[in-house]
Amino acid sequence: MNERKGTSVDKSPNKLSLSEAASAIAAGSLSSEELVQSCIDQIEARENTVKAWAFFDPEVALAQARDRDKAQPNGPLHGVPIGIKDIIDTMDMPTEYNSPIYKNHMPSVDAACVARLRQAGAIIMGKTVTTEFASSYPGPTRNPINTAHTPGGSSQGSAAAVADFMVQGALGTQTGGSVIRPNAYCGTVGYKPAYNTYDKVGVKPLAPIMDTVGLMVRTISDVGILSSALSGLEPEKLITENAPNLLFHRTDQWDAAEDYIQTLIEDCAKTFSSAGAQVRDHTFIPPYDNLQAAQRIVMAVEACREFKEEWMNHQDLLSKPFQNLMLRGFETTPEERGEAEGLLKYARGNLSEIFEDGEILLTPGAPGEAPKGIGSTGSSIFNRAWTFLGVACLYLPVTSGPNGLPIGIQLVDPHNNEARLLSAGVWCAKKLGLDTVI
């Protein structure tokens, strides 16, 4: 595979990966203030173009960095700047959900995941742009690789900020495809863990049965460090020498993928097989072949439950797409709702009937390069089934498509073993020559 366009060997502080920056600060070769100032310089140079931030105050960021530099490193993220999607509460920064209803809203406490980051020593750099309530109505963020294109959604600012070297990592959320798709479009490493891996208290819910906090970073090593800080679990040792057992899962939506995405996934499957991995074709059996439609029903129904107050008192301030989402929920019949919610419960509880332990799925993360324009965030057609099932997904940028924008692969572990998924990711990255994402 060709090296992804835009990969840089420049190691100015803001271009260090999260793991590199954490190691440098721990070793005393870099201060948090130096790192944060480098990120601030990048933000000030590029923010007017990329528009990744809903709230950013350089003095707030620098004050945190100076405090970290006065203390001994006592956490894995000590002094490292992280962006926070603006549906996640922060006690010292506004949380507005990209909605005029919540203009200047100041939460009284941090979300649990933000509190975890602070305990691990992270710098909360600012709030990244989200679509309205993490749904489909986009914010102003542009793809930093080509600003004529969307960065994806709903975690658009998080992916753009990491891709443009404004911050070492960022939090996003996924209810459909809102972590994996923006990582795919912006060319960053993405991780959507198993459902409820990280505490969601203080995260504005859209569809709580599927909402999942996820990660935007630059390397697989970054995933391990950031995930450990959020989960409170010690990171497991990765075993990267063993070839994974891969299922080539085209999904029932394979025809929605561009020809070059199909070719990329097929070529990767051949590369992995030649390198010693077991690779076999896989398709869903009924009732798993209808997950996409069921996901949309559950999302709409749950949105109606969560946004009753906004609908009743501020309907005129909701975007037309969000109003349409609510109407779909209201119009869903009890039979449709029961069938979709029943499928979710059944599917999550019976994955072992179609997947053997140790199997990792190889599948697209997005149907193509980031679409042109920012009026839409693109299609989540290759993400919704995995969010519905609540399983762990890892996205790896591999190369560039015909328009020079990033494309890559998605690995899915239906048994939610993080160490095994990350190990498979490292193995696959090595075989593809993607040293910069390891």
Q: What is the pLDDT of residue 188?
A: 98
- Examine the domain organization and report whether 228 and 314 are in the same domain: no
Q: What is the pLDDT of residue 74?
A: 87
Query: Are the C-beta atoms of residues 133 and 204 closer than 8 Å to each other?
Result: yes
- Examine the domain organization and report whether 60 and 138 are in the same domain: yes
- Examine the domain organization and report whether 320 and 199 are in the same domain: no
Please check whether residue 281 lies inside any domain of the structure: no
Q: What is the pLDDT of residue 6?
A: 37
Q: What is the DSSP track for 381-432?
A: TTTHHHHHHT-EEEEEEEEE-TTS-EEEEEEEETT--HHHHHHHHHHHHHHT
Q: If you compute the radius of gyration of the chain from its CA atoms, what whole number of angstroms results?
A: 20
- Torsion, CA 427, CA 430, CA 431, CA 437, rounded to 10: 100
Q: What is the pLDDT of residue 289?
A: 86
pLDDT lower than 50: segments of the chain: 1-9
C-alpha distance from residue 422 to each of 116, 210, 314, 354 (Å): 22, 22, 43, 22
Please check whether residue 282 lies inside any domain of the structure: no
Spatial distance between the Cα atoms of 432 and 2, rounded to a whole number of angstroms: 8
- Examine the domain organization and report whether 18 and 130 are in the same domain: yes
- Examine the domain organization and report whether 232 and 106 are in the same domain: yes
Number of domains in the chain: 2
Q: What is the pLDDT of residue 4?
A: 38
Last residue of a domain, one of 240, 272, 303: 240
- Examine the domain organization and report whether 106 and 216 are in the same domain: yes
Please check whether residue 316 lies inside any domain of the structure: yes
Please check whether residue 207 lies inside any domain of the structure: yes
- Examine the domain organization and report whether 321 and 177 are in the same domain: no
C-alpha distance from residue 425 to each of 13, 79, 237, 351 (Å): 26, 27, 14, 21
Please check whether residue 105 lies inside any domain of the structure: yes
pLDDT digits (tens, 9 = 90+) for 359-416: 999 999 999 999 999 999 999 999 999 999 999 999 999 999 999 999 999 999 999 9
Q: What is the DSSP track for 2-21?
A: PPPTT------GGGS-HHHH
- Identify the helix (H) or strand (E) that includes residue 170: strand 169-174
- Torsion, CA 163, CA 164, CA 168, CA 173, rounded to 10: -50
What sign does the CA torsion over 144, 157, 51, 66 have?
negative
Tokens at 78, concatenated: 């000590």
Q: What is the pLDDT of residue 352?
A: 87
CATH number at residue 52: 3.90.1300.10
Last residue of a domain, one of 326, 349, 372: 349
pTM: 0.96
Contact residues for 286 (Cβ-Cβ < 8 A; gap 6+): none
Tokens at 183, concatenated: 């990582």
Please check whether residue 418 lies inside any domain of the structure: no
Q: What is the pLDDT of residue 290?
A: 87
Q: What is the pLDDT of residue 89?
A: 98
- Examine the domain organization and report whether 342 and 231 are in the same domain: no
**3 state SS of 262:** helix
Q: How do 359-363 and 245-249 pair as beta strands?
A: parallel
- Examine the domain organization and report whether 192 and 316 are in the same domain: no
Give the range of the structural domain holding residue 32, as residue numbers without chain letter.
Answer: 13-240
Q: What is the pLDDT of residue 252?
A: 87
pLDDT digits (tens, 9 = 90+) for 276-309: 999 999 999 888 988 999 999 999 999 999 999 9
Tokens at 284, concatenated: 């869903």
Q: How many other CB atoms are found less than 10 A from the CB of residue 409?
A: 24
Last residue of a domain, one of 313, 332, 349: 349
Spatial distance between the Cα atoms of 114 and 86, rounded to a whole number of angstroms: 12
Please check whether residue 177 lies inside any domain of the structure: yes
- Examine the domain organization and report whether 100 and 218 are in the same domain: yes
Active site residues: 85, 154, 178
Please check whether residue 226 lies inside any domain of the structure: yes
- Starting at the edge strand found earlier in the chain, the sheet holding 359-363 runs 53-55, 123-128, 81-85, 169-174, 212-217, 189-192, 392-400, 406-413, 359-363, 245-249, 278-282
- Examine the domain organization and report whether 193 and 98 are in the same domain: yes
DSSP 165: T
- Examine the domain organization and report whether 63 and 125 are in the same domain: yes
